[in-house]
Amino acid sequence: MTQTPTGDSIAPAARTRAAEDIAVTEATKPKVVDDGNLVNRSGRGKKILVYTLLVIFALIYIYPFIVQVVTSFKTNGDAVANPLALVPDPITTAAFERLAQTEYPRWFTNSVVVTLLVTAGRVFLVSLAGYALARLTFRGRNAVFTGILAVLAVPGVVLLIPRFLVLNYLGMYNTYPALFVPLLVDAAGVFIMKQFFESIPVSVEEAARIDGAGTFRTFWSVVLPMARPALITITILSFQGSWNELPHFIIAADDPDLFTLTRGVGQLTSGGLGSGNQFPISMAAALLMTIPTALVFVVFQRYFTQGANAGAEKG
Amino acid sequence: MSTLTTTAGPGTGRAPRRPRQGEGQRQSVAGWLFVTPALFVLGLFLLIPIVMALWVSFTDWNGRGSPFSSRVELVGADNYAALLTEPGLSRQDFMISLRNTFYYVVGVVPLQTVIALLLAVIVNQKFLRGRTFFRTAFYFPSVVSSVAISLVFLFLFTGTGAVNQFLALFGIDGPVWFSDPRGLIHLIGDWLGLWSVGRPPSALADTQVLSLSLWEWFSGPSVALTAIMAQVIWTTAGTFMLMFLAGLQDLPTEVEEAAMVDGANRWQRFRNVTVPHLRPTILLVVTLGVIGTWQVFDQMYVMTQGGPAKTTLTPAFLSYTAAFRQQQWGQGAAMAFLLFLLIFLLTSLQRFVLRDKDEAATRRARRRQQRATRRGARA
């Protein structure tokens, strides 16, 4: 469970926003007229106020990350004595070298594998189901959709014990599949894809169907390519969800070979590396697990923005 | 939100026309084939687990063997009773966790909502240079792993850490944040001279309500919990800022201009035009906030393990430790269901309180009219 609100039950009307948000790119959003041009009195005072607030908040928001980067290159003594100093004295990569000797690389690999599997699986399964719910008529469709909406209302943390019970019962506890199979589908994703498919014109599919393409073919080579923005949103949501996931990995396995980054690093604080309060090591560990997120974030920034809103308003 | 409809916008696809016989059958098969994998995963790892846990919450299963074996005894509602009605350690811990989380929610939700709105208003200023940069900076913590952020905050909030060194610049002697169990309300009362933390007023200390004394109920969040609250507000405000930004960008310019022409000053405009317009977004943000905060788990697992002196114990973490560490699976499961119920009730209540008054009024009027017509038809 990440701290990001992976929201749950929202008023039905809000749900449509997901599809709209995906369809409307930032550039086409209506722009509000600059009200600075309409009223110029007291404009300067306002600017000063806004900039002051901005600087304060920017410091509060950026400083912790700077501390994180700088401290990971410090010695422990330096980190404890001068926590505010922005230049390590001396500069050392000892923390990273220590991490390399621990289980950290294995945790990193596990996280990468799980994230890739979950993301690939989710994109495929969720769009299949979303397409069927949006476009195919079959008996029980409404019941299925209602069921998915109901599932959305279940708070994630409540599932800790239940999930363990089933994994244990099936003999999957402490196996690799236990880490990713339960995460392969999320109801929110099905919902987002359904909304998106409903927003694209039916005519293209009908043309393909008249040409004799089967349902899966139509879906795979005609509809899916048109759904790129929604697919990117799903990709981002599932990357973020599985890379940052903690509770599920806690209950799915306790074999150290199956630890992911969040699970392994989460134990650093209780002296998991025999490091106790070795701050440079914990900062380096935090830094390395943040870098992939930062890269994905920078590349897909625009879609992250949309994903946040889609994710929140998913219903 | 009320203006949005559940169907897609104009010019978009409608449900396909009723297909011919053979085509209909093919679609039916394809439809089920398409949804089956998703239903399978959701059913196996969501629905069945919930049913199993519900069963376990009525048993004394200790984690060994199958919870369905004949050796496992059904104990009826005992697990729930131990948490709610029977005096004892289980109830005491559960009540402590509810108290902590109550203060946590009451502190985090309003603050993160207000800060998110403030950030959105700031970043929405058109004259601002580098708006994208600041928006990114404020949003970034929301996408970073809570584990990584917890490590950073553990370091920032150590006794000699950055936060305390910063406070020292103003001559403030900061606490050892994460090992300080003193309650905030206790401390404030002490500081105001209302009571002494060492010798709590006996009227409060001697009255027990649900396994905790009134003095303990009114502790406020502990210093340690306050530090976690600060971290969570810092992390989540960015997400909600984006929601408010989307809302602000939907604000019709004409309305703003009309208010300006009417001579409304900036604060009046914000108060009477912007905030009512953002009402649906505020409802959404507060609802999501309440749902999210009652579930808080990661921070407790990584940073405090419920300590110091149980002041960061939360229902989610307690249910985890009861089951996985003390092997009291029935009680752990019962706690999870009580938490579920609580979140459900709170969000329903909230939606009812914050419901659109106009909409409710129209609905009531319509119902009244319908009743009148029906009566008319009968007569």
Q: Looking at residue B356, what is its pLDDT?
A: 65
Is residue A58 left, alpha or beta, with left meaning phi > 0 and alpha meaning psi from -120 to 50? alpha
Question: What are the structure tokens assigned to B201, written together?
Answer: 């007023």
CB proximity under 8 Å: B 203-262 to A: 232, 234-236, 238-240, 242-243, 246, 248-251, 253, 256-257, 260
Best probe of the A interface among B117, B121, B152, B328, by most A CBs < 10 A, is B152
CA distances from residue A152 to A7, A192, A235, B26 in whole angstroms, order as listed: 8, 12, 19, 30
B232 pLDDT tier (thresholds 50, 70, 90): very high
**What is the rounded CA–CA span in Å between residue A125 and residue B373?**
49
> 3-state SS string over chain A?
CCCCCCCCCCCHHHHHHHHHHHHCCHHHCCCCCCHHHHCCCCHHHHHHHHHHHHHHHHHHHHHHHHHHHHHCCCCHHHHHHCCCCCCCCCCCCHHHHHHHHCCHHHHHHHHHHHHHHHHHHHHHHHHHHHHHHHHCCCCCHHHHHHHHHHHHCCCHHHHHHHHHHHHHHCCCCCCHHHHHHHHCCCHHHHHHHHHHHHCCCCHHHHHHHHCCCCHHHHHHHHHHHHCHHHHHHHHHHHHHHHHHCCHHHHHHCCCHHHCCHHHHHHCHHHCCCCCCCCHHHHHHHHHHHHHHHHHHHHHCHHHHHHHHHHHHCCC
pLDDT tens digit sequence for B289-341: 999 999 999 999 999 898 899 999 999 999 999 999 999 999 999 999 999 99
Checking if the pLDDT of A289 tops 90, the result is yes
Residues facing B208 on adjacent strands: B213
Q: Looking at residue B375, what is its pLDDT?
A: 67
Q: Looking at residue B263, what is its pLDDT?
A: 80
Q: What are phi and psi of B39, to 5 degrees?
A: -65, -35
**CB contact B341 to A (< 8 Å):** no
B231 pLDDT tier (thresholds 50, 70, 90): very high
Average pLDDT over residues A289-307: 84
Domain boundaries, chain B: 36-59+67-76, 86-183+220-354
Question: What are the structure tokens assigned to B313, written together?
Answer: 């114990």
Q: Find, in chain A, the residue whose alpha carbon is nearest to that of B11.
A: A201
Best probe of the A interface among B12, B17, B21, B45, by most A CBs < 10 A, is B45
Average pLDDT over residues A42-65: 87
Q: Which CATH fold would you assign to the domain B86-183+220-354?
A: MetI-like fold (1.10.3720)
CB proximity under 8 Å: B 300-319 to A: 301-303, 305, 316, 319
Q: Which of A17, A84, A286 sits opposite B148 (nearest CB)?
A: A286
Q: What is the DSSP string of B206-244?
A: T-EETTEEHHHHTT-SBHHHHHHHHHHHHHHHHHHHHHH
Q: Looking at residue B101, what is its pLDDT?
A: 96
Q: What is the DSSP string of B54-92?
A: HHHTTB---SSS-TTSTTSPB-TTHHHHHHHTS-SHHHH
- CATH architecture classification, A103-266: Orthogonal Bundle (1.10)
Out of A39-53, B72-86, B159-173, which region has the weakest mean confidence (pLDDT)?
A: A39-53
Q: Looking at residue B358, what is its pLDDT?
A: 61
Average pLDDT over residues B341-345: 92
Other beta carbons within 10 angstroms of residue A298's beta carbon come to 11
B146: amino acid identity, one letter: S
B49/A166 Cβ within 8 A: yes
**What is the rounded CA–CA span in Å between residue B63 and residue B58?**
14
A14/B41 Cβ within 8 A: no
Q: Which of B13, B248, B297 sits opposite A1 (nearest CB)?
A: B297
pLDDT tens digit sequence for A84-115: 888 888 888 988 998 898 899 999 999 999 99
Environment class of A37 (CB within 10 Å of its CB; exposed 0-12, middle 13-18, buried 19+): exposed
**What is the rounded CA–CA span in Å between residue A122 and residue A128?**
10
Out of A20-34, A181-195, B169-183, B248-262, which region has the weakest mean confidence (pLDDT)?
A: A20-34
What percent of chain B is predicted at pLDDT more than 90?
47
What percent of chain A is predicted at pLDDT more than 70?
80
Q: Looking at residue B8, what is its pLDDT?
A: 38
Average pLDDT over residues B343-367: 76
Average pLDDT over residues B85-97: 92
Quote the mean pLDDT of chain B.
Answer: 86
**What is the rounded CA–CA span in Å between residue A156 and residue B295?**
8
Query: Is the link from the previous residue into B308 a cis peptide, with omega within 30 of 0?
Result: yes
Domain boundaries, chain A: 103-266
Q: Find, among A240, A282, A248, A246, the residue nearest to A261 by Cα.
A: A246
**Among the ranges A2-6, A20-24, A209-213, A215-219, which has the highest mean pLDDT value?**
A215-219
Quote the minimal CA–CA distance from B84 to chain A in Å.
18
Average pLDDT over residues A172-199: 93
CA atoms within 13 A on the CB side of B288: 30
Structural contact between residues B144 and A290, judged by C-beta atoms closer than 8 angstroms: yes
Q: What is the DSSP string of B132-160?
A: HHHHHHHHHHHHS-HHHHHHHHHHHTSTT
Other beta carbons within 10 angstroms of residue B36's beta carbon come to 16
Q: Looking at residue A5, what is its pLDDT?
A: 41
CB proximity under 8 Å: A 157-176 to B: 157-166, 169
**What is the rounded CA–CA span in Å between residue A281 and residue B60?**
43
Q: Find, in chain A, the residue whose alpha carbon is nearest to that of B330.
A: A161
pLDDT tens digit sequence for B6-51: 333 343 444 454 545 577 788 888 899 999 999 999 999 999 999 9
List, in order, residues 6 or more apart from B75 with CB less than 8 Å away. Answer: B58, B59, B60, B330
Checking if the pLDDT of A228 tops 60, the result is yes
pLDDT tens digit sequence for A12-25: 334 334 434 444 44
Q: Looking at residue A308, what is its pLDDT?
A: 62
CB proximity under 8 Å: A 105-144 to B: 125-126, 128-129, 131-133, 135-141, 144
Average pLDDT over residues A57-66: 93
Checking if the pLDDT of B228 tops 80, the result is yes
Average pLDDT over residues A282-297: 93
Question: What are the structure tokens assigned to A90, written together?
Answer: 């001396």
Q: Looking at residue A15, what is its pLDDT?
A: 38
B106 pLDDT tier (thresholds 50, 70, 90): very high
Q: Looking at residue B209, what is its pLDDT?
A: 87
A160/B139 Cβ within 8 A: no
Cα angle: B30, vertex B5, A228; to 5 degrees: 50
Structural contact between residues B108 and B289, judged by C-beta atoms closer than 8 angstroms: yes
Quote the minimal CA–CA distance from A206 to chain B in Å.
9
Best probe of the A interface among B20, B151, B166, by most A CBs < 10 A, is B151
Q: Which of A138, A158, A216 sits opposite B32 (nearest CB)?
A: A138
Q: Find, in chain B, the residue whose alpha carbon is nearest to that of A171.
A: B66
Is residue B73 left, alpha or beta, with left meaning phi > 0 and alpha meaning psi from -120 to 50? beta
Average pLDDT over residues A189-201: 90
